[in-house]
Amino acid sequence: MPEALKNIKERNSCRDFADTPLTEQQVKSLVEAALQAPSARNIQPWHVTCITDKSFIDEMDAEGLALLKAAEDQTAYNTIMSRGGKMLYNAPCYFVISANDSMYAQIDSGILCQNIAIAAEALGLGSCIIGMIRTPLSGPRGAEFIKRMQFPEGYNFAISILVGHVNTGKPPHDMDFSKVTHIN
């Protein structure tokens, strides 16, 4: 099986990262994979914020968890607590993608994020595409976090991905071929 297909097939969502930081070369490779993503009309409507400052990641995690704990609906909070009590799963590297409001920005940002996920797998790292950062970004400290992440003017959160060394892994999800219609 070609290596690219093997990486796609073996990738899964890691929700338990080891404390080991990524090397500069690993981060550089992930950034390059992100920036090689295709976009509609090559507009590249995204901005990538790569966070390896573990204290900043932990600060956003704690803020998000506090907001979820205070929410009326405890479903998300209880799920996170059952997975170890970390909204950002102790990841040492966090890519937050912001985008402008152009027509295909959300789709293009998702493609960029998938490039990071596949590259992480190729590098022997785990990843988890995640939207939970919306919680602290929409909370009382949201503007502060957005400023610290240096979103360009007019850009908003699109998608994010955690990357790191896998502490506890799991197999990829099963393929559900009932989700496919083939017209020939």
Q: For the segment 38-96, what is each residue's pLDDT rounded down to a tens digit?
A: 999 999 999 999 999 999 999 999 999 999 999 999 999 999 999 999 999 999 999 99
Global pTM reads 0.94
Predicted confidence band of residue 160 (pLDDT cuts 50, 70, 90): very high
Residue 93 pairs in a beta bridge with: 163
pLDDT in tens, 99-130: 999 999 999 999 999 999 999 999 999 999 99
Which residue, chain included where needed, has tokens 């950002």?
A: 88
For position 169, what pLDDT does the model report? 80
Confidence grade of residue 179 (pLDDT, cut at 50, 70, 90): very high
- 1 pLDDT above the threshold of 80: no
Please give the pLDDT value at position 171.
Answer: 83
**Domains of the chain (ranges plus CATH)?**
3-168 (3.40.109.10)
CA 134, CA 1: separation in Å to the nearest integer? Answer: 38
Q: Rounded to the nearest 5°, which phi and psi values hold at 36?
A: -90, 0
**Beta carbons of 47 and 151 less than 8 angstroms apart:** yes
On whether the CB atoms of residues 99 and 108 are closer than 8 A, the answer is yes
